Structure 1
Amino acid sequence: MSLAESRPRPDGPARGRPRSEAVERAIMEGVMKLLEDGVPLAELSIERVARTAGVGKATIYRRWSGKEELFVDVMRAAEPPDPVLPGTSMRDDLVVLLESLRRRGLASRSSAILHNVYAQMKSSPKVWSAYHTCVIAPRRALALEVLRRGQRDGELRPDVDLELANDMFMGPMLVRSVMRPDADLPEGLPEEIVDTVLAGLRPVSSTVS
């Protein structure tokens, strides 16, 4: 898997570079090469990455604080990009978010490397914690903001617990993607999930003509 088109990371604190996209790309592709060669995540040291990428360890540490931060960036670049929300309605935004989850599920199924790496991440507390903090938590916060806006705009009943509602919308796609790898992930599934769940959560007045 090539990271030649690696995606930019969200803005964050400066890490004392001069920045070189070519050098960063070489480092991230070095990580992927090691993974493709079957090197376990636990053995993926900065020294080994530097040797594979043809750079010095200091070059890596000028860009990433350690293996966990580097690995999170590699995984973020290997995954489908985070979506741009249309902002037209809560329903439309939720459909886009679930479509992104569906595409990640398909990518994991089609890539033995991604599937294997996800499994290894969960067995490495430091790496999983970094991935959760930098990737999963912001995605969940975005979904909750969509629900919060929908509740404010009258698309969601005011008594609905937003944390629970988020699980209700995202849960079915996650179950199919992660816990049921044999289950279909067809086009149109995001709309079906959102509309089914929303039928029970939208204000009654909004369903009456």
Structure 2
Amino acid sequence: MANGAHPAEGAPVPRGGPGRPRSEAVEQAIVEGVVRLLEEGVPLAELSIERIARTAGVGKATIYRRWPGREALFVDVLRLFEEPVPELPGTSMRDDLVRLLEGLRKRGLTVRSSAMLHNVFAQMKALPKLWEAYHATVIDPRRRLTHEVLRRGVENGELRADVDIGMANDLLVGPMLLRTIMRSDTPLDDDLAERIVDTVLEGLRPQAGRGAA
């Protein structure tokens, strides 16, 4: 992909819908066909299964045997450019949160470096089914993981017992999303994840002389 945003060489193609045993070469051709069309500036709304099949040199039925529709195929393509869900160090809530936010920072750097990816994410908001599928497949699992880390923090006494977990998640993720999506002119410094986590936790940790509840 342009501007250094290609998926890692040899990266596995995510699996789509149910179907017969798959051919990795065929799936790779289909995914590369989608990427090629996107790099050529074809809008997401105009990427029909027929056009993708023609570009990939396969039949439409071949695609439908692997993905139930365009949304599932597009999500699988986009997942190739996502930072993998990180392995958490487990040493503390703070360290786990830093690792999770660092993944968002790196994702922001990838999107910034690729005009194609930037355009794709902008277009997704106008395609409700794709936006919902992307959230269900990519965003929601990461949010649930952050919630689990925060709940463990409450159980371990690292976080006040009265903290709203959903709100705490938004307070942590919000600043990173603001800088990576809405304020692309702001720097994404190497220590940004640490600074965000430490700033938010300063107000959420149990305070001396104050009850945890």
TM-score computed with the length of structure 1 as normaliser: 0.92
- What is aligned with 2:126? 123
Are residues 8 and 157 of structure 1, via their aligned partners in 2, closer, same or farther at CA, if it must alter by over 3 Å?
farther
Q: Give the match for residue 30 of structure 1.
A: 33
- Number of residue pairs the alignment of both structures matches: 204
Q: Which runs of 5+ in 1 are unaligned?
A: none
With normalisation by structure 2, the TM-score equals 0.91
Displacement of 1:8 in angstroms is 5.3
The whole-number CA distance in structure 1 between the counterparts of 2:26 and 2:171 is: 42
Q: Report how far residue 85 of structure 1 moved.
A: 1.4
Aligned pairs for 1:49-88 (under 5 A) are 49-88=52-91
How far did residue 132 of structure 1 move? 1.0
For the 8 Å contact 1:6–1:78, the answer to whether it is kept is no
The one-letter code sitting in structure 2 at the alignment partner of 1:163 is G
- What displacement does 1:17 show? 2.2
SS of match in other structure, 2:136: helix
Partner of 2:147: 144
**1:75 deviation in Å?**
0.3
Pairing partner for 2:19 from 16, 21, 25? 16
Q: Could you tell me how far apart the structure 1 residues matched to 2:135 and 2:95 are?
A: 25
> How many Å apart are 1:80 and its aligned residue?
2.5
* Corresponding residue number in structure 2 for 1:6: 11
**1:103 to partner: Cα distance:** 0.5
Matched-pair contact (CA < 8 Å) for 2:13–2:24 = no
Matching residue of 2:200: 197
Counterpart Cα distance in 1 of 2:96 and 2:175: 17
Aligned-pair Cα RMSD in Å:
1.7
Residues 73-82 or 103-112, more deviating:
73-82
- Separation in 2, partners of 1:9, 1:70: 9
CA distance in 2, matches of 1:156, 1:8: 39
Query: Is this contact kept in 2: 1:95–1:190, CA < 8 A?
Result: yes
What amino acid sits opposite 2:85 in the alignment? D
How far apart are residue 79 of structure 1 and its match? Answer: 2.4
Counterpart check, 1:106 vs 2:104: no
Identity %, equivalent residues = 67
Contact 1:90 1:155 in 2 (8 A): yes
